[in-house]
Each structure stands twice: as C-alpha cells, then as structure tokens.
Structure 1
Amino acid sequence: MELATKRRQANARAELRALVNGSYAGDADALIETVAADLLDGVTERIRSKSRTGEATVLTGSAARRALALRLATWLIGDPVPSGAIRETHLPMSKWSPEEVIEHTGMSKSTVYRCDHVQFYSVVPPGKKNGRVYPAWQFVADVPSHLPRLLEILRSNSRMQVNTFFMSEQDSLNELSPAEVLAGMPFEARRMVAPEQTHMLSLSMKTRLDKVIALARMEVADLD
C-alpha cells in the first residue's frame, strides 16, 4: 500500500512539473486537487507528529506557509540542472516512443493515446507499417501550448502529411520549417542560420504563430 502511494505521488509530481512547463495534456483541475490534498495531508501529519512528541500543535500563519512551501517544493523541483548547463537552443530531431512521452511529460498512457492528433501528433516508425512514435520537437518550449490549434486546422490530413507540413522548409518562412518558426529555434541538424532566418525566429510568439497558421490553412485549402 505504501509503495503504491509513493508511486502515485511520484506520477503526480511528474504531471505537475509537466503542467508548469506547459506540456501536460491531462485534466489540470483534477491534478491540482490531488496536489492540494497532498499538501494538506503533509501539513496535517506534521501537526500530528508535533502533538505526539508533546510540542505545540498550532502552526502560526508563517509556519504554515513554510510547511506548505516545503511540501510544494517536493512536488515541483525535479532533478537539479548541472552547474554550467546550457539551455536547449535547438529542436531535437529524435522521435519518442509512447513510453518516452510518458516519461518526459508525466502524461498517463491513456492520455497519450487519447490526445494523439489533438494536442500532439504521431507518425509510423520508419520501416514499419503500423505503430506510433512522436517527433520530440513538439514537446519543446511553448510548442505544446500552440500546437493543438494547428492540429485542429490540419485535422483532415494524414499523420504523414502533418509531419511533412511541419518539417518542410518554406519560402515564406525564409527557408525555415513551420516547426522551427513555431518553436522559435532551428533544428539541431541545421548547420547554419542565415541573418534573415535569425530575424524570423526572433519574432514574437504571436507573429510566428500567425505565420504558421496561415500556411496551415493554405495547406488544407490546396488539398480540397
């Protein structure tokens, strides 16, 4: 029972970090309720422990806040970033299995399959006729917050067509792909970034999103 509880808490912590990072696709309200219940249980247990040891059982406002902050920190703080680590500045070219999506985002297995082609998309693994892998670029930076809007526009396209759209360089985007413009960073395989491409990637999120939306609508119109 204790092991199952710890496993549930570990999963919820991963999901909360995903929510904070903007990559959580589950029920946010239900997750917050779970976190709130754990925070309350933690502070309540602290009061009970003090009572058993004969200490005062009343937490002042500041003490209660410190207790809650400490408890919340255990939920939010993940593995420490190594000293001198550099923030990711290039989009990954890799593809994740469903298990890797769960590991990186904290989603449940059912959420991953339910949200496929709604909040993110999958492609068939190379050399296979079926199965699912997920291009990792779509889970980077602000992409998870804006990708669902684009997938709604592209909903009539096949998985292959969706991936081709996002990965193909476009003249109107200064030879960048929609994926790069949406994320505001080049793919890791791109050796050089021209000045005009740097300018495109440095535009505001809204401007970049509008450009990709316009292309997505043209893509759908061309297929009609």
Structure 2
Amino acid sequence: MTPRTQMPAAVAAGPRLVEKLVHDIDEQLELAIDSHERERVMAIVRQCLTATLTRPGTPAVDVDDQLAVSYLKPSEVIAQGLVAMSQATLYRAVEDGRFYCVTPPGKAIGRAFPAWQFTLPVPELLAPILRQMQDVPSSEIHAFWVTPVDVFDDLTPAELLAGKPFETRAALSAVQQGHLSQAAAQRQARVVARLAWLPSRRSDDIS
C-alpha cells in the first residue's frame, strides 16, 4: 500500500495533487469494494477533487520542486503521462536499467514504481547509475536511494541526484541546499561514488 504522504496544510492544489489523492483513495478502496463499483466511485472522487482543488483562487505551490514519496502501479505511470511507453515497454526499460521497480509494500508479488524517479531531471541522470547496479540485489536498490547519508548531510542519494528534496522533508539547511544546488553532473558523480558503500559490494571487498 502506498505510504501516506505528509503534506503541509498550506500545500496547494493542482492536477498532480489531484492524481496523488485519487491514487491513495483508490488503494484504500481496492480491497473494500469490487473493481466495477470502485471505478464508478473513483470517477466521482476525481470530479469532486478536481472541482475543489483546481478552482480559480486556490493558492499554488510548485510541487515540481519536490520529490514524491508514493509508489505507482505500472498503469498509473503510463496514465499520468510520466513516460511515453506502453506497459510492456516500461517493463523493458526496467530490464535495460532506465528505471527500477519494487514489490508493492505489503504484498508478495507485483510491481510498483517509486514515483520520485520520474521527476525531471532524474530519468536522464538515473539510467547510467542503475546500469552500474545491475549486480545489486533488488532489495538493496530502493534502500540505497532513500536512505539518508551522513556525507550528504542527511540527504538521500535520490534527493542529491534530483537536486530536490522529498516532499516529506520539512525544511532544508543551508548546507543541504548547497548540495542540491550543485551542477547535475557533480551530483551524479557523488551518487556514483556512493555505490562503493552498498552492502553487497562491501561484503565482496571483505571476502
């Protein structure tokens, strides 16, 4: 199930917020009602949220300066226009090291895509690093991206690569802002250097 996003009361609306709320509500209803009824209910929910949250006069916040913490189903990645791919092509992109997916939280099977990796400029910076992680156990990959790092002053590799904080981060220190303001190539190189600290690679060095 998608982790609940912590959003300040002042966070405003827009199409992206509507989609996030619809996604969360849909997942809550997934086991409660059948798919046909859920589709009808979600159409009403989407209409109400769009009317309320995108009406003129609603203050706007630039959510493009934040990274989402949610997970997306493959169909949601495509429906939201995050990639210009079919579902089969999206799966091939994972095999090619352009994106990565995880098993949905709380489930034994299936695929879910951490949403942060579709935020610009991440896709172009991410692929070269993921291709260097093809020997890394899948259980380590997402943990690597979302675990704070001391030398990044508690930023995660995902945040450093993107140059943007996760939406759950309440504030940035001046030092953290300095890390995020570095040139994209420099941020990418620092994340690549961090690959040497992956648990699987450290154990290889020891052996």
What TM-score comes out, normalization by structure 2 length?
0.65
Give the Cα separation in 2 of the matches to 1:218 and 1:193: 25
Residues 101 and 107 of structure 1 are in contact (CA less than 8 Å); yes or no, is this contact kept in structure 2? no
- Equivalent of residue 65 in structure 2, options 81, 85, 89: 89
Q: Which residues in structure 2 correspond to 1:52-201 (within 5 Å)? A: 85-87=60-62, 88-103=64-79, 104=81, 105-117=83-95, 118-201=97-180
Residues 153 and 217 of structure 1 are in contact (CA less than 8 Å); yes or no, is this contact kept in structure 2? no
Gaps of 5+ in 2: 1-55
Deviation, 1:189, is 0.6
Structure (1 or 2) with the larger CA radius of gyration: 1
Give the Cα separation in 2 of the matches to 1:86 and 1:190: 15
Q: How many residues align?
A: 143
Give the Cα separation in 2 of the matches to 1:194 and 1:86: 20
Deviation, 1:194, is 1.1
Give the Cα separation in 2 of the matches to 1:109 and 1:127: 23
> C-alpha deviations, 1:177-210, integer Å up to 9, x for none?
0000000011001112111101101111011111
The residue that corresponds to 2:19 in the other structure is: none
Indicate the SS of the match to 2:65.
coil
| 86-95 or 165-174, larger mean C-alpha shift | 86-95
- Equivalent of residue 221 in structure 1, options 184, 197, 201: 201
Give 1:134's aligned amino acid: F
What TM-score comes out, normalization by structure 1 length?
0.60
Give the Cα separation in 1 of the matches to 2:92 and 2:203: 26
Give the Cα separation in 1 of the matches to 2:196 and 2:117: 19
Deviation, 1:163, is 0.1
Give the Cα separation in 1 of the matches to 2:136 and 2:203: 9
Give the Cα separation in 1 of the matches to 2:69 and 2:120: 15
Q: CA RMSD in A?
A: 1.7
Give 1:109's aligned amino acid: Q
Give the Cα separation in 2 of the matches to 1:86 and 1:114: 34
Instruction: Report the structure, 1 or 2, having the larger helix content.
Output: 1
Give the Cα separation in 1 of the matches to 2:92 and 2:131: 15
Give the Cα separation in 1 of the matches to 2:152 and 2:119: 20
